[in-house]
Structure 1
Amino acid sequence: MKQPGRSLRWDAAGSRWWWSNSDAAALHAWSETEQATMTCKLPDRAGLIAHCSSGRLLVGLPKRLCLAGPADPQRGAIQLKVQALVAVDAAEPRTGISDGCVDRHGFLVFGTANASEDRRPIGSFYQYSGQHGLRRLALPAVAEASGICFSGDGARMFFADAGGDAILCCDYDAGRASVSRIGIFAQLEKGATARGSVVDQEGCLWNAQAGQVVQYDKGGKVVRRIAIDCATPAFGGARLDQLMAAGPAGLVPLPVKASGHAEALFDDQHLHN
């Protein structure tokens, strides 16, 4: 069965949607002005992608963060050249990068998952930047890090364990890579698993779950459910008022009236490379 795309991101500079494959070593990009989806080959599967201030892509392969591109949409299917930045959990072969996004300060925050059959909670959360390198966040160990996103002011972080039963939140200090007041934002229904999340201009959180996208208000109460199977919803478009999902059959616009925040760019100007 074909899996939904993950790590869906809007590229404002290129007016293009980007997402990765759960089951293939490739990235995809699509724009309303282009007739076909651009496919960019990678050396391995990507658990996350993020856009950089330079125009390049930051890609989270299973055991390393890399810079890639920029890609030329006129070339069709291409092999992206990647440059390794930092190894992640090098001494732990069971884990791989599973989810992440850029915080409001231009730092990447991401997590790992246990890819072995036992699914024990050995995954961690990290922050990465050119200024400070790789720093572990003092968050609970997880089977699979998911749902990482931030409030509009960047002071509140949301995250989840795809093997757990809740969406969690905490206060977040980007400069110190510190977290505090960790608690439950929303309890999931029995059998539900939290995937990717995004926060809108009103402070509502939209989370992808198996077979649906669920909107929660600021207090964690369910507002609505939209039937679609996807891994990550994302806001984009010229006015950031288009909520999109990458389902098994491709991109699907969701019928909602809401606006998102501009996608934060990873600050790659301070990288020593």
Structure 2
Amino acid sequence: MLIRVGQAGCALRWDAMRQCWRWPDPVGSQLYAWPAPPAMPSGVRMLESACVMACCSSGRVLLGLGKRLGMADLPQPGQPIRPLQAQVLITIDAAEPRTSISDGCTDRDGNFVFGTANTAQDQRPIGSFYQYSQRHGLRRLALPAVVKAAAIAFSPDGRRMYFADAARGALMQCDYDAERAKVVNVKTFSTLLEPGAGAAIVDSKENLWSVQGGVLVQYDSHGQVLRQIALAREAVASVAFGGAGMRQLLVLGAQGGLYGLPPDLAQGLARGVPDSLFIDSGSASIPVSRT
């Protein structure tokens, strides 16, 4: 264990601009960083709870706030630490009170791709998948309706998208066109080993790392299971590569613990693929690594 903070773990992301991992605590309404930037605390209070985030090309953070996407400025060294107040960008599915944002990440072109979940007891499949950019606005992806969108991730070249319904038993894949927000050739990638899909990432060898039922499962590019990793003290909530050369894999626990892999597991892993930054207004388009 590297650090334990807050009450819950959620989406873990590597902030390449500030060289730290970040994650929101949706229970304690905090945004955490490890290692903490110089002269900064590890956590900053948020005025609204968030469970999804992405780092932006301007240095801000994009947050999934229930049914809304919002943008927040991070505190700077030497400035007073104030609670983060997000500027709301858009409300998702405003006419449907049962849905809420449940998962999301940037695609390789700097758009934010996310999905929603049915938070009501009826658990009908009314969740959807979307792409959001400040160039094109909100565009719904032509993917099947879900109870809870999960496992959104992209291949290193950005042409394949992975996703899942957390209430169903399979990881799915499709061909993805970022410019047109088009998806085709939807098919099963692999069955889940544990019920309840969560976060997912793809490494530089196109292995898919999938959180499911509190366990981290690694698949090869053909959907074959390579390994399973469980935490002794808590369920796995999320996972992210980062650090020098994107060679460090960290695991976030559901109760706020952040863990590094022991040497015998970390040795020989493929390096990660850096998240593309969400391209927000006033920022130039940032080249996307295809490595």
The reply to whether residue 85 of structure 1 matches residue 97 of structure 2 is no
Matched, 1:250 2:263: no
- Residue aligned with 1:195, SS: strand
- Of 236, 240, 248, 2:246 maps to 240
Aligned position for 2:12: 8
Question: Does the C-alpha gap of structure 1 residues 110 and 250 become closer, same or farther in structure 2, counting only changes over 3 Å?
Answer: same
Separation in 2 of the partners of 1:111 and 1:258?
A: 28
Q: Is the 2:218–2:226 contact (alpha carbons within 8 Å) kept by the matching residues of 1?
A: yes
Structure 1 residue 72: Cα displacement: 3.0
SS at 1:182's partner residue?
Answer: strand
Q: Distance in 2 between matches of 1:73 and 1:200?
A: 32
2:226 to 204, 215, 223: 223
Report the alpha carbon displacement of residue 39 of structure 1 after superposing the two structures with TM: 1.7
2:216 corresponds to 1:210 = no
Instruction: Show the 5 A alignment for 1:91-170.
Output: 91-170=95-174
Deviation by residue 1:222-272 (Cα, 9 ceiling, x = unmatched): 00011122222110002101111111242101232231011210000369x
Distance 1:68 1:192, change over 3 A: same
Q: Which residue of 1 aligns with 2:21?
A: 17
Counterpart AA for 2:260: P
In structure 2, runs of 5+ residues without a counterpart are 1-5, 284-291
Say yes or no: does 1:43 pair with 2:52. Answer: no
Indicate the percent of aligned positions where both proteins have the same amino acid: 48
Write the distance in 2 (CA, Å) between the matches of 1:105 and 1:165. 29
Structure 1: runs of 5+ lacking an equivalent:
none
1:179 counterpart = 2:183: yes
- Confirm or deny: 8 A CA contact 2:167 2:195 kept in the other structure: no
Q: Relative to 1, partners in 2 of residues 1:13 and 1:258: Cα closer, same or farther, differing over 3 Å?
A: same
142-151 or 74-83, which deviates more: 74-83
Asked if the contact 1:66–1:85 (Cα under 8 Å) also holds between the matched residues in 2, the reply is yes
Query: Structure 1 runs of 4+ off > 4 angstroms?
Result: 32-37, 73-77
Cα deviation, 1:78-98, whole Å, max 9, x if unaligned, reads: 401211111111111111111
TM-score when normalising by structure 1: 0.92
Distance verdict in 2 for CA 1:224–1:128, change over 3 Å: same
Q: Contact between 1:99 and 1:111, CA under 8 Å: does it hold in 2?
A: yes
- Alignment partners' CA distance in 2, 1:40 and 1:70: 9
For normalisation by structure 2, the TM-score amounts to: 0.87
Q: Distance in 2 between matches of 1:125 and 1:4?
A: 25
CA contact (8 A) 1:6 1:230 kept: no
